[in-house]
Chain A
């Protein structure tokens, strides 16, 4: 994309700078070898030596998924991993914009989840809409850290439902190259490559790329009743292909690191919609492009008491200009979309350790946003190289001349926003014997929606060996994105007199901007207990209760109205209307057993989730969920069968009789098998095979698209088989 070219030259400049910085210190190891053991113990070490702080030791509800687990379970992308996590639920193939929608502890919305790679955010900094799909690659991941619950006290806006940090391998940790290639049912191809190595003294370079593409199953063949009707002229056409691209490169030298991370995702813009209202044709695509360029640096004092982390990042997000809808709202004409956000972010964080387990963290962050909000329907692709106003777009259907020869065309409003966010935060950790406490707060000043203060406090207590108790309370806020405040769409129709002459315009429907939206606010209580019965068997129980006020609802209908002076039959928009309450609990057991040459690692989790939104049952969250699986290993062979059961899941949409729509309970079995190192010389060759929906069931997820336009419940994929090879050298 354009942003890539934008940074080509700066990237070279960085490479040069870092190469210059790599001083020839090859004699360092020889010097160390000449030291006595006592002298060696006195050698000061760099920040990289600090043992990584793991969220598992934090008072928050957290998970750490290691590279080994990713490999054995066959998680190629974050989406697959989240499916296995308690208190996460995915509605697949559900939304035109987001494709798949995640709910965390009963609150749905991809925009409520903050995703980072190596501490750098990759979800749109503006909070704009994005698909949770195959673009979040795990092929170069060392581990994935997931903190469930509000983390605005540290990360600010968007860290509402949780924070996911994907930690990737450095060049030295890759130490060679890894190629993976696979094919699967429905024309799927999955190719990735990563390579890295140390070079000079103390410098490391790595690069990783992952491309996924699939034609996706021909659902009309599996769910003929749902696809019995077709939009005019589109009978027997079905193209719902998906694709994604991930690229990440990083260069590090001691405490300095620079990197570039790019993601593209594309899917059908008819996703989740009945074919008679939005045909599944190849042209109807929705694509987002993300580019992130960052530089980080850490300085540590000699005694390692002080540490200062600096991070500068530039994020570019856009809805690809070729993205378009072809649906009943656009009268089946091409309706192109565009939006972008350019954010420069600077973050400075100082950590002072009073003692090894008592860190004080002080931080400042600054973001400068330039956004073009989600456009109205456009009759041709937006040209990002020109200003919006110079492109003379007219609202659909308004490009007519009335009976007096007066052109009625209405220029499209483009909402360009410039805003800043200044945040400051403080966090203190204390540990005494068997008790540790962490407390913190963050203040944000945003030039669009004002000030916000969010505290968080948590404690861990280990009354006896093997028993751990956790409790925490946190608050968070979700800043309304430009997509929600200024996104608008709809079309006009000419009105005529008895002679068929145009007399004016009218509209059946318009979704209008609401610049006055306020942030959603969350308060959440969380408690948990875990007990390790033996080294090979442990259990955890975690419960939560949360309240959300000023909940933003996207489709609040205000009845008839006017827009641009013409009557509109149905006007809707986003509004702070909702109050949500969620509560639930997860009981989980994990075990490890060795039987002969076999090793088994079974896990099982039951999650209860309940709550309400404005008095209605909680949508997009099954009341009962069971997730269980067992990692079995025999020599080089590992097998991971897993079972997912979800109870009835409700939508936020209603049928014509006013009843909430829902999807029926289902149980799904998936299987992943891997045979490592079929050969080891001259390179390592491994193979894998994955099967999802092993018993080829027909099942559905809860519908997202409102009204009678979307499926009442969304048909899901039949059995999928995918296999491939992996080369390491």
Chain B
């Protein structure tokens, strides 16, 4: 097989890719995470000081690339700046207000949720069955769009108040929290 054939195919594929311009899901999810900070209310005790930042954590392999930093750069919500923290593993986890649990951590979801306990953390993931298993918000893809499910019980159990507006846009999951 002459080498030119795979090269030609490769070139065609590359040019084809260049012409397609849908939005990467990571960017949409990053903006959703940012929006969640506006529609979820944390207890004031979860902030050491009035100007303490809202901390968004990412546990496991980061699916956002640089989109999360781009999203929160220079932003404030209720006078609080936003900070991104990344945790490679559960052992490294530190307190945060939103914790995005990567699909790479799927196997450890029960352990992560038990470890978080009643800490005031909004847990978010795009792992199948996450909201049913005790997580607060689960992203899913549907007809080429991002959708999300909310477990109101999980959020309330963490001491968080989710605005009615956010709830109205989500599929609300009811699951008895053990």
Contacts and interface: CB of A to CB of B under 8 A. Distances in A.
* A and B are partners in one complex rather than unrelated chains: yes
Contacts of B5: 344
Interface in A105-152: 142-143
A498 interface: no
Interface stretch (A77-85, A620-628, A630-638): A630-638
A435 interface: no
B17 to A, nearest CB: 3
Contact of B31 (A17, A33, A142, A344): A33
A175 interface: yes
A478 interface: no
B62 A66 contact: no
Given A295-B9, A635-B91, A10 B144 contact: no
A256 B16 contact: yes
Interface stretch (B22-30, B43-51, B149-157): B22-30
A13 interface: yes
Interface in A300-352: 300-305, 310, 312-314, 342, 344, 346
Interface string B87-126: 0111110000000000111111011001100000000001
Nearest to A633: B91
A20 interface: yes
Contacts of A384: none
B168 to A, nearest CB: 9
B16 A37 contact: no
Query: Contact residue range for chain B?
Result: 35 or more
A71 B61 CA distance: 13
Nearest to A637: B91
Contacts of A296: 13
A66 B141 contact: no
A22 to B, nearest CB: 8
Contact of A68 (B14, B35, B105): B105
B105 A21 contact: no
Given A45-B145, A299-B20, A300-B144, A310 B13 contact: yes
B28 A40 contact: yes
Contact of B22 (A57, A66, A300, A305): A300
B91 A636 contact: yes
A351 to B, nearest CB: 13
Contacts of A536: 110
Interface string A181-211: 0000000000000000010001010000000
Q: Chain A binding site: helix, strand, loop or mixed by DSSP?
A: mixed
A68 B25 contact: no
Interface in B1-42: 1, 3, 5-7, 9-11, 13-18, 20-28, 30-32, 34-35, 39
A25 interface: yes
A662 B147 CA distance: 58
Interface string A24-35: 011011001101
A67 B169 contact: no
A45 B24 contact: yes
A392 interface: no
A301 B88 contact: no
A356 B140 CA distance: 11
Nearest to A536: B110
B13 A312 contact: yes
Contact of B89 (A68, A169, A356): A68
Contacts of B62: 172-173, 175
B165 to A, nearest CB: 7
A594 interface: yes
B14 A256 contact: yes
A258 B10 contact: yes
B23 A43 contact: yes
A315 B86 CA distance: 38
B70 interface: yes
Contact of B10 (A64, A295, A305, A535): A295
A37 B6 contact: no
Contacts of A60: none
B89 A71 contact: yes
Contacts of B140: 51
Given A29-B31, A44-B23, A297 B13 contact: yes
A594 B110 CA distance: 11
A35 B30 CA distance: 13
B143 A303 contact: yes
Nearest to B91: A636
Nearest to A42: B145
A29 B15 contact: no
A173 B126 contact: no
A293 interface: yes
Contact of A173 (B13, B39, B63): B63
A52 interface: yes
B77 interface: no
A297 B16 contact: yes
Given A342-B1, A592-B111, A17 B144 contact: no
A677 interface: yes
A176 to B, nearest CB: 9
Interface string A698-729: 00000000000000000000000000000010
B91 to A, nearest CB: 5
A41 B141 CA distance: 10
Nearest to B38: A37
Given A312-B9, A535-B110, A48 B25 contact: yes
A45 B26 CA distance: 9
A255 B111 CA distance: 34
A229 interface: no
A149 to B, nearest CB: 22
Contacts of A301: 144
A46 B71 contact: no
A276 B54 CA distance: 71
Nearest to B169: A37
B79 interface: no
Contact of A312 (B10, B22, B31, B34): B10
Given A29-B71, A68-B89, A342-B1, A293 B6 contact: yes
Nearest to A677: B92
Nearest to B69: A29
B88 A728 contact: yes
A684 B88 CA distance: 10
B80 interface: no
Interface of B: 1, 3, 5-7, 9-11, 13-18, 20-28, 30-32, 34-35, 39, 60-67, 70-71, 86, 88-92, 103-108, 110-111, 114-115, 126, 128, 133, 140-147, 165-166, 169, 178
Interface of A: 6, 10, 13-14, 17-18, 20-23, 25-26, 28-29, 32-33, 35, 37-38, 40-46, 48-52, 54, 57, 64, 66-69, 71, 142-143, 169, 172-173, 175, 198, 202, 204, 253-256, 258, 293, 295-297, 299-305, 310, 312-314, 342, 344, 346, 356, 368, 370, 535-536, 592, 594, 599, 601, 633, 635-638, 676-677, 680, 684, 728
21 contacts: A23-B18, A29-B27, A29-B31, A29-B67, A32-B28, A35-B31, A38-B169, A40-B32, A43-B23, A45-B24, A46-B24, A49-B25, A51-B128, A172-B62, A254-B24, A295-B6, A295-B13, A594-B114, A599-B115, A633-B90, A636-B91
Given A14-B14, A46-B24, 7 more contacts: A14-B10, A37-B165, A172-B64, A295-B9, A299-B16, A303-B144, A344-B1
Q: Top 8 nearest A-B pairs by Cβ distance?
A: A49-B25, A256-B17, A21-B18, A304-B144, A172-B65, A198-B65, A344-B1, A17-B14
